[in-house]
């Protein structure tokens, strides 16, 4: 199932002049990727695997909206790359990293639902060439895929209308309704296997409880982050108003000092003492 999903992602976007290389097997790696620095943040991955052709695959699933998901994705991919190199190893042992993000929100705020899967690389801006191929980030926006499938009006023939990746994602994202799901399970052996595992999982009360607990935890964390953002914005506005008042008050004091200097009735020291200003500031007016 893992191999089928990754190969479906890799073959979905055809890049001119590049052959599609399917993976044949994967070795699952430790998802607890600890940073070399004690002060650095060590990420916990959703999925991390190594293929026999020398590529590392990292899949992240993000249900709730996250404003900095692209930054987190690049940070994770960079960790995947950097932490490969053991002490004494040569740089030629570093393997390419393929990051796949599945997000349940509109990541790039695009309206074109046909571009729901995008591929990002490091390119030469002058020529458009990709000479540095060790990073590749795939972003899949599920809400755009939902709109795309709805636009197709498939009439219960998903296997004939959708490609492999679209079928897999429709099942994983529960897109199209129950009858549509049943048709996918009936016609796609990989999805049938997924459904078998899902049914087995749902028959295990302890596993379901743990899943629901984690889901509630994620929702609580998302709500906490939302409130923190709103609080920060509100405090920023208050701070702005406070700074504006302080600036106005300071300017008023300086204007009073200028008037006293023009009249010449008080010395610089007397003006400074009266208005609470440094003598040097008053003397410079």
Highest-pLDDT range among 53-57, 226-230, 232-236: 53-57
Q: What's residue 37's pLDDT?
A: 41
* pLDDT at residue 94 in the model: 93
| Least confident span in 25-29, 244-248, 251-255 | 244-248
pTM of the predicted model, to two decimals? Answer: 0.70
Helix pair 268-275, 205-263: axis angle to 10 deg = 150
Outline where DSSP puts E strands in 92-161: 97-103, 117-122, 132-141
pLDDT at 32 over 80: no
> In this predicted structure, what is the pLDDT of residue 179?
85
Highest mean pLDDT: which range of 39-43, 132-136, 223-227:
132-136
**Tokens in use for 131?**
């000479």
**Secondary structure (DSSP) of 10-64:** HHHSPPTT--------EEE--SB---SSTTSPPPB-SEEEEETTS-EEEEEEE-S
User: Can you tell me the distance from the alpha carbon of 3 to that of 53, in angstroms, rounded to the nearest whole number?
Assistant: 13
Q: Is the pLDDT of residue 5 over 70?
A: yes
Mean pLDDT of 253-265: 76
Query: What would the mean pLDDT of 153-180 be, rounded to a whole number?
Result: 81
Q: What is the pLDDT of residues 6-31, one digit of tens each?
A: 999 999 988 888 888 888 888 887 76
Q: Does residue 143 register a pLDDT over 90?
A: yes
Provide mean pLDDT across the span 235-249. Answer: 62
**Pick from 51, 58, 55: nearest CA to 73:** 58
Quote the mean pLDDT of the chain.
Answer: 82
Q: What digits encode the pLDDT tens for the residues 77-133?
A: 999 999 888 888 899 999 999 999 999 999 998 888 889 999 999 999 999 888 888
Segment 72-76 mean pLDDT: 91
Tokens 């300071």: give the residue. Answer: 250
């Amino acid at each position: 199932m893992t191999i089928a999903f990754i190969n479906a992602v890799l073959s979905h976007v055809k890049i001119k002049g590049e052959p599609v290389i399917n993976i044949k097997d994967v070795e699952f790696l430790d998802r607890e990727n600890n940073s070399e620095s004690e002060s650095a943040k060590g990420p916990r991955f959703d999925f991390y695997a190594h293929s026999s052709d020398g590529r590392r695959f990292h899949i992240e699933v993000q249900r709730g909206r996250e404003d900095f998901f692209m930054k987190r994705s690049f940070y994770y991919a960079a960790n995947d790359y950097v932490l490969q190199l053991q002490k004494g190893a040569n740089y030629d042992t570093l393997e390419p990293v393929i990051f796949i993000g599945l997000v349940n929100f509109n990541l790039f705020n695009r309206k074109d639902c046909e571009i729901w899967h995008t591929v990002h690389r490091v390119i030469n801006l002058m020529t458009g060439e990709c000479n540095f191929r060790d990073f590749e980030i795939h972003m899949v926006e599920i809400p755009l895929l939902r709109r795309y499938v709805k636009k197709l009006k498939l009439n219960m023939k998903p296997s004939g209308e959708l490609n492999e990746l679209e079928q897999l994602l429709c099942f994983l994202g529960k897109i199209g309704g129950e009858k549509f799901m049943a048709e996918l399970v009936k016609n796609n052996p990989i999805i049938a296997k997924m459904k078998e595992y899902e049914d087995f999982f749902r028959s295990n009360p302890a596993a379901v409880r743990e899943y629901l607990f984690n889901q509630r935890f994620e929702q609580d964390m998302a709500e906490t982050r939302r409130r923190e953002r709103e609080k920060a914005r509100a405090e920023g506005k208050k701070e702005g108003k406070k700074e504006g008042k302080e600036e106005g008050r300071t300017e008023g004091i300086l204007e009073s000092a200028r008037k006293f200097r023009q009249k010449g009735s008080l010395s610089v020291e007397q003006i400074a003492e009266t208005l609470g200003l440094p003598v040097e500031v008053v003397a410079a007016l």
